[in-house]
Amino acid sequence: MIRKMNIGDVRSYTRIITQEDVLKFGELTGDMNDTHFNEAYAATTIFKKPIVHGMLIGSLFSKIFGLDYPGEGTIYCSQSLIFKKPVYPNQTLIVKVTVKDIVLEKNRVIFTTEILNEQQEVMLTGEAMLMPRKEVHHE
């Protein structure tokens, strides 16, 4: 699998996180912070209205890595996240990963990971390291 990958390869998809998604994530993680759910409280913050959980946004890369590229059998080793701008429910997001480096001898691929809004502004950035499924050699 890793031999078919190239530095600069890009995969992306669009996603809208609804308020229902935020509620499910809050219930799943136990993070029911007013910043995500209480309009009156959120109005007193720098965000002015409820925002989506940062870790919910950061989890969106998993769909690409687990199903598309590298895909089935990939091991997600690490992920850094830098939150640049708040994400609000019902915004259209572009989830984008780009191959940054390939370490063939260790079977590791480093990706730049980004979440952008429709205006192409970076909302979140980071880096992921993955181990693609090893290729089966038939003799």
Work out the percent of the chain whose per-residue pLDDT is above 70.
97
Residue 89 located in a structural domain: yes
**Could you tell me the CATH number of the domain that includes residue 96?**
3.10.129.10
Residue 112 located in a structural domain: yes
The residue range of the domain holding 122 is: 2-18+51-131
Q: How far apart are CA 110 and CA 132, in angstroms?
A: 11
pLDDT of residue 5: 94
Residue 113 located in a structural domain: yes
pLDDT of residue 137: 58
Residue 105 located in a structural domain: yes
pLDDT in tens, 57-73: 999 999 999 999 999 99
Strand partners, 125: 82, 114
Residue 40 located in a structural domain: no
**Number of domains composing the chain:** 1
Residue 92 located in a structural domain: yes
Q: Is the peptide bond before 86 cis (omega within 30 degrees of 0)?
A: no
* Location of structure tokens 């205006």: 119
Per-residue pLDDT band at 120 (split at 50, 70, 90) = very high
Residue 122 near residue 138 (C-beta atoms within 8 A): no
pLDDT of residue 57: 97
